Structure formats: C-alpha cells, structure tokens
Structure 1
C-alpha cells in the first residue's frame, strides 16, 4: 500500500493522502457489487462508483481518479483489471431507460447490443434521431434473445422491460 502511495506521488497521478484507500474502495465496488441492487454486474457497480467520484457528491469537488485507478488496480486488485478496462472502454451494460448516443457518462456508445436474459417478454425498444423521430422500434411479446444495432447517427435509444443489454464483441 505504501508503494502505491509513493508511486502515485512520484508520478503526479495523485498527490494527496490516501491514494491506496481510494483504490481499495474502487476495488471493493468491482469485487462486490451493491447487494441492494440484485443483478447489477461488477462493471456496472464500478462504473457507477467512478461516476460518483468523478462528479463529486454533497458539495465535494469533482475529481478524475481514473489515472490513479489505472496505476493502483494492477497492484491492489489485479483480478479486477479487466473490469476497469471495460469501464474505460465504455463497455458497460445498461437496462431500462432512454439514453443519448455518445461516449460520455450516462450515454450509450454506438454498436451492437443484445439482451442478457434467457427470454424476454413484453419488451419495447426504439432508436430515434436527434430530433426525436423514430428510426426503428419494436414491441416484442416473447423472444429468446434480442439484438439491436445502434448507429453513430442515432440520437437516443429507449428500452422498457427488456432487461439488461450488453455489447456484442
């Protein structure tokens, strides 16, 4: 832990105290997703935690700890490096809601996605243009699995009762 503290200071990645503690907290979020959110993946848990620390909460200043996590994960939780890499790439599963298309926080990256459930019932999804006009939509009463391709020119993607969508690689 002290080695990480020294390395963080010497590289300028994090000059304050408690670098190892900050990385440990992120490692724990990746190891043990929030038990109150049953079904949440390690990637979703870590992504949410990083977003909270990035934006700050209850009056705290925003801070980008990603360079510290990149430095510290291989040292303190090497088994979770792939989880961190997925978050960095934006390869984060998402569920119900309406999401703008893009690469920022709370956005869905263009690409092909599929549902993770063994079967889907009463699922509605739609792709829209930036002006809200529907490009494509479907109401699926039952399917084993669904696949949708979201294009870079799409404005948003809406999903209701479809479960979780994950990127297809």
Structure 2
C-alpha cells in the first residue's frame, strides 16, 4: 500500500508594523517643535522679544522707530539701530530682564529697580558728543558700573574702545582715591585720610592751600589767582593739609 501523504501546513508571516512618524524637531534637541519654545535653537537659550526704540536720528524724536533683535550669541543685535546713527533713544513700552546676558548686565550695573531699559538706550545711541568719548574723561564709580554693564550688553558698540578707556581712567582715579592719593577741596589728616607726597593740580583760579601742624597752625601756605599748574609737597610730619579752589590734587609725575 502506498504511504499516506502528509500535507504541510503553511503559516502566514505577520505583517510588519509601521513605525510612527517622529514629530518635527528642526534643531535636533530631542524636543518636538510643538513643545519647543526655541525650535531653531538646540541650546534653548532664552531670547528677548524684538525691542523697539524711539530714536533721534537727526530729524527730531518723531522721526525713527528702530528695532533691536535677538542675536545669535545671546546678546541683542543693535546693527540696524547703529546703522541709523541715533544720538539718543528711548525704549517704547516696558522691558523685562529675560536673557542670561541681560541678567549679567543688570547685576554689573548695580541698579536696584529691576529695569534694564537704560542699558538698551545707552547701547543704542551713537553720539559723537558723548562725554565718554572725550580723550580725558574718567568715569565715576557709578558710571564705571553702568558703562561696564552696557559693554556686557553691547561689547561691539562703535564707541566700545573709548568707553573702555574712560572706564579704565575712572578705575585708576578710584584706586588713587581709595589709597588717599587723590583728593579735592577740604582739610585732610596726613597719614590717615591722605598720604604724604608731591601732588599737582592744573588750570586753577583762586587756589589756596596750607600745610598745618597738630595745633592747626600754618606750616606753609600758598595762594594764586590763576595758574596752569600748582605743585605742593606734603610731608609725613605734617598733621593736616587744607585747600580751597584748587580742584583735584593727584600724584606728580
């Protein structure tokens, strides 16, 4: 008898399951565009919204409305504003401190009003009559803080180099004053408030100075109605030095 035929059963192959389409992620940071606050920035650095300024570009305040956009390096981009060369600007509306750079600039400024608008206005202006661009201008301690803050916000400002020089001169003066080697009108204790040494002042009118002993008596004195330069040597044995109308005394070179 012929052997019985065994029929093999054929099992059907399972259909492949289609993979779900990943949501769009333009910057490839793993956050879908629909949930990404900064869909084109893989580092997700906070950005300031465009900042509008009302500026005087030579036609009065009603002339130009200029805009500062967020820059690629986290700093605001003032290129459009600087191209217009405004002599002064004012922020339109209110401005919140948003970016890391803005927070850093605000901290350096030593402001206490939670407002960074002034720094934007300083950065926006390109004024050839700006006091800070004068060759011998030295910033005060408050001005040093504010201008350093502005340079943090806009380090490539057209006058950045001159601003830094004004800050540098101001810092030299601040250091001299702290050392008791830069002083003005008044009476000062030698060795306590000011240091002994040779000092000069320039371009004076009605300048009077005197060196005093511990009894308040005059050791030496001098008066001039007008002079280009006045020099005095204060000795360590002097008790006090007093001057009026002489401006600032600084170490002789």
TM-score range, shorter chain: 0.3 to 0.5
Structure whose CA Rg is larger:
2
Q: Looking at both structures, which has the greater relative contact order when contacts are Cα pairs under 8 Å and sequence separation is at least 6?
A: 1
TM-score, normalised to structure 2, is 0.35
The answer to which structure has the higher helix fraction is 1
